[in-house]
């Protein structure tokens, strides 16, 4: 009896049928982990290749005989296989041409191809990303964080998941007090308006100034014979910053007024950068509003005896029995640390959403922090801590090395986007194809191409890998880049415009039964067919890189099709012309979907 294949894709059907074949032919249950189905390499005939070697232990036959028996079974028991070919221990399967033609007719104009309907009555994925400090502007590291968090959120939504995108603003603490104190001492009333600077850049300037003056004080103390570690704590500026933090936590009206004023400057600057970068959030959290909940959880832990208060009054979580270390949660003066507010925000998000995943998009230097966060919540009896997931990513470096905010060697996100825009402008003008563009059209093109280059270059790299960002390389109009993909999309749209016939009419009039697919057309259809599966896999792996690589491969395949002398499009006879234009249109729409999931806008003319 043939298995039920309703709602399954080709790969799943073939794997399920192979499992059934092994059971029927060799009376054995084969684990799914041993079933290997791959795309057939271009130098062999076929669409999919089944690797037979892992099945020999069940067949107890030679590879070629085993492959032939399974090939015969699949041909007789599914309606998919046209022919098969045995090459040693590999079974190359050719799908019936009629399947690929039907697939094109069914999906070519389907706007939601590959996108799943939203799941109903389910808990959401709560995804935190960006999470900046209000003492400096967003920088290149924040760009990877924002792009990764936004893209993962959109991929999950496209896979049918419910998603809440959140941003935790670290708007209080010793770092914020440092820039406040520096502005108080040396700012002379300077404002974003008087300095003609974005607010976040102005505050970042005073954060750097604090560090410069603080180092001078430390060096003076060390020169007087004080040990360096002690000098770090005894420097007058650091003492003043700590005093300001205590005043803030006590609600001192002057300190709070200064804090609000400077934070408002920063928020205005952040919002400009977010809008330009094309990222958004469903909800903002503020550390100043959640740290008290964290402190109450710490007090709860003390009452339960799962946390420890030391002689100086500081409170700690002892995780040494779990292979970790001791973690401070409250300082001796009662002020809180990052971990304290993370406890509070985690509790608040659980109460608001009961999420199936509580995801944090944070660099890999915080791996230990999130391991500790989950352990402490477990100690406090919060079983939902199992929902915590740290989407850890590697740091971004530039050709000249690491960035340091305190030393002012960081690459600001705004400055980088300006540089990318200028590079896109120069390269587009050098190509000499935009003479007919209006100034507004040119600006739109440079904006989309520059951000497309930036986003693609960052997101095509596996999140876990450290990466080197090279602005000039990212904006190349050839190779594995965003502009190359955008250019191919624009080329397809140009083809459709030149056809001067609505694609809806093409779909009505084309007779696919009168056509024979070229190998390059078949391969392009096969790759398009894989999009839903790739999307699902990328969602499960939280990996925009899978979408980026799929979209690039699709773009390469289309260019091979476009350049194939046997696959002329506009000059082909009418039926073949309509078919190839439909295939081109379908490809363009799928490229557009892939780019959207990366936050990249398409361009219709380049």
Of 53, 574, 132, whose CA–CA distance to 363 is shortest? 132
pLDDT in tens, 434-452: 889 999 999 999 999 999 9
Rounded Cα distance between 433 and 436, Å, is: 8
Domain boundary among 345, 362, 397: 397
Rounded Cα distance between 140 and 138, Å, is: 7
Residue 407 belongs to a domain: no
Rounded Cα distance between 358 and 427, Å, is: 42
Rounded Cα distance between 129 and 356, Å, is: 17
Same domain, residue pair 433 and 532 = yes
> Tell me, what's the pLDDT at 195?
97
User: Alpha carbon of 415 to those of 136, 412, 567, 601: distances in Å?
Assistant: 14, 5, 45, 21
Same domain, residue pair 469 and 584 = yes
Q: 3-class SS at 188?
A: coil
Residue 286 belongs to a domain: yes
Give the domain CATH number at 225.
3.40.50.620
> Tell me, what's the pLDDT at 408?
46
Q: What is the 3-state secondary structure (H, E, C) of 30-60?
A: CCHHHCEEEECCCCCCCCEEEECHHHHHHHC
pTM, to two decimals: 0.92
> Tell me, what's the pLDDT at 409?
52
Residue 405 belongs to a domain: no
Tokens of 569: 């499009």
Same domain, residue pair 542 and 514 = yes
Same domain, residue pair 462 and 567 = yes
Tokens of 122: 């389910």
Cβ neighbour number for residue 112 with a 10 Å cutoff: 10
Tokens of 251: 């609600």
Give the domain CATH number at 577.
1.10.730.10
pLDDT in tens, 201-238: 999 999 999 999 999 999 999 999 999 999 999 999 99
Count of positions (residues) in the chain: 606
Rounded Cα distance between 524 and 517, Å, is: 10
Of 76, 58, 60, 62, whose CA–CA distance to 19 is shortest? 58
Helices 140-158 and 544-563: angle between axes, nearest 10 degrees: 80
Burial of 185 (0-12, 13-18, 19+ CB in 10 A): middle
Residue 410 belongs to a domain: no
Rounded Cα distance between 519 and 604, Å, is: 28
Same domain, residue pair 91 and 133 = no
Residue 105 belongs to a domain: no
Residue 463 belongs to a domain: yes
Rounded Cα distance between 448 and 503, Å, is: 26
Torsion of CA 352, 358, 361, 364, to 10 degrees: 140
Q: 3-class SS at 325?
A: coil
Same domain, residue pair 443 and 494 = yes
> Tell me, what's the pLDDT at 476?
81
Q: Kindly give, in sequence order, each residue whose CB lies less than 8 Å from that of residue 282, ignoring residues fewer than 6 positions away.
A: 164, 165, 166
Same domain, residue pair 391 and 420 = no
Give the domain CATH number at 64.
3.30.1360.70
Rounded Cα distance between 444 and 527, Å, is: 31
Same domain, residue pair 159 and 241 = yes
Same domain, residue pair 429 and 575 = yes
Same domain, residue pair 220 and 182 = yes
> Tell me, what's the pLDDT at 474?
84
- H helix or E strand, kind and range, residue 504: helix 503-509
- H helix or E strand, kind and range, residue 248: helix 236-249
Q: Domain range spanning residue 564?
A: 415-597
Same domain, residue pair 369 and 429 = no
Rounded Cα distance between 222 and 229, Å, is: 9
- Max intra-chain CA distance, the chain: 92
Same domain, residue pair 196 and 321 = yes
Tokens of 154: 């959109």
Low-confidence ranges of the chain (pLDDT < 70): 1-7, 400-410
> Tell me, what's the pLDDT at 410?
65
- H helix or E strand, kind and range, residue 218: helix 199-223
> Tell me, what's the pLDDT at 4?
43
Tokens of 6: 């309703």
Residue 306 belongs to a domain: yes
Cβ neighbour number for residue 441 with a 10 Å cutoff: 13
Domain boundary among 362, 397, 432: 397
Torsion region of 189: left, alpha or beta (phi above 0 gives left; psi -120 to 50 gives alpha): left
Number of domains in the chain: 3
DSSP one-letter string for 399-445: TTB---TTTT---BHHHHHHHHHHHHHHHHHHHT--TT--HHHHHHH
Cβ neighbour number for residue 453 with a 10 Å cutoff: 27
Q: Is the torsion defined by CA of 76, 81, 87, 90 positive or negative?
A: negative
Domain boundary among 339, 369, 397: 397
Residue 111 belongs to a domain: no
Rounded Cα distance between 290 and 349, Å, is: 10
> Tell me, what's the pLDDT at 7?
54
Beta-sheet strand order (sheet of 90-95)? 36-39, 48-51, 90-95, 81-87
């Amino acid at each position: 009896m043939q298995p039920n294949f309703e709602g399954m894709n080709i790969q799943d059907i073939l794997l399920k049928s192979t499992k059934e074949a092994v059971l029927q032919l060799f009376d054995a249950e084969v684990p799914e982990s041993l079933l290997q189905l791959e795309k057939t390499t271009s130098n062999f005939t076929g669409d999919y290749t089944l690797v037979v070697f892992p099945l020999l232990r069940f067949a107890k036959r030679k590879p070629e005989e085993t492959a032939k028996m399974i090939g015969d079974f699949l041909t007789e028991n599914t309606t998919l296989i046209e022919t098969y070919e045995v090459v040693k221990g590999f079974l190359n399967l050719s799908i019936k041409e009629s399947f690929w033609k039907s697939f094109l007719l069914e999906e070519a104009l389907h706007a939601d191809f590959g996108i799943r309907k939203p799941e109903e009555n389910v808990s959401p994925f709560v995804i935190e990303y960006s999470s900046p400090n209000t003492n400096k502007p967003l920088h290149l590291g924040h760009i990877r964080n924002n792009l990764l968090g936004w893209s993962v959120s959109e991929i999950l939504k496209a896979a049918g998941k419910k998603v809440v995108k959140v941003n935790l603003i670290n708007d209080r603490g010793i770092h914020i007090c440092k820039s406040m104190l520096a502005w108080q001492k040396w700012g002379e009333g300077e404002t974003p308006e008087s300095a003609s600077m974005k607010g976040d850049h102005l505050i970042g300037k005073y954060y750097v100034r604090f560090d410069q003056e603080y180092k001078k004080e430390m060096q003076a103390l060390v020169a007087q014979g004080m040990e360096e570690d002690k000098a770090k704590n005894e420097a007058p500026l650091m003492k003043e910053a700590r005093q300001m933090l205590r005043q803030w936590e006590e609600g001192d009206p002057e300190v709070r007024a200064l804090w609000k004023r400077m934070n408002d400057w920063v928020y205005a600057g952040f919002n400009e950068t977010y809008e330009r970068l094309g990222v958004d959030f469903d909800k903002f959290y503020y550390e100043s509003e959640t740290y008290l909940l964290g402190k109450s959880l710490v007090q709860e832990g003390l009452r339960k005896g799962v946390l420890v208060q030391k002689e100086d009054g500081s409170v700690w979580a002892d995780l040494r029995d779990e292979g970790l270390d001791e973690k401070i949660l409250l300082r001796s003066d009662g002020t809180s640390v990052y971990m304290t507010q993370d406890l509070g925000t985690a509790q608040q998000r659980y109460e608001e959403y009961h999420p199936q995943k509580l995801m944090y998009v944070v660099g890999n230097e915080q791996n230990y922090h999130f391991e500790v966060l989950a352990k402490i919540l477990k100690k406090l009896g919060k079983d939902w801590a199992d929902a915590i997931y740290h989407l850890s990513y590697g740091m971004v470096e530039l050709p000249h090395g690491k960035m340091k905010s305190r030393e002012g060697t960081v690459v600001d996100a705004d400055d980088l986007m300006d540089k990318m825009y200028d590079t896109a402008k120069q390269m587009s003008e050098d190509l000499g194809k935009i003479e007919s563009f209006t100034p507004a059209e040119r600006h739109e093109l440079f904006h989309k191409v520059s951000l497309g280059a930036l986003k693609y270059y960052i997101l095509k790299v596996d999140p876990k890998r450290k990466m080197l960002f090279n602005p000039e390389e990212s904006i190349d109009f050839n190779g594995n880049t965003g502009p190359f993909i955008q250019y191919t999309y624009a080329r397809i749209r140009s083809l459709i415009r030149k056809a001067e016939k609505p694609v809806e009419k093409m779909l009505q009039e084309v007779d696919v039964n009168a056509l024979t697919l070229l190998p390059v057309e078949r391969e392009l259809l096969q790759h398009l067919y894989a999009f839903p599966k790739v999307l699902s896999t990328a969602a499960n792996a939280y990996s925009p890189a899978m979408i980026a690589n799929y979209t690039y491969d699709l773009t390469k395949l289309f260019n091979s099709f476009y350049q194939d002398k046997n696959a002329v499009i506009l000059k082909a006879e009418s039926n073949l012309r309509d078919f190839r234009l439909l295939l081109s249109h379908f490809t363009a729409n799928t490229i557009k979907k892939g780019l959207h999931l990366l936050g990249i806008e398409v361009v219709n003319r380049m």
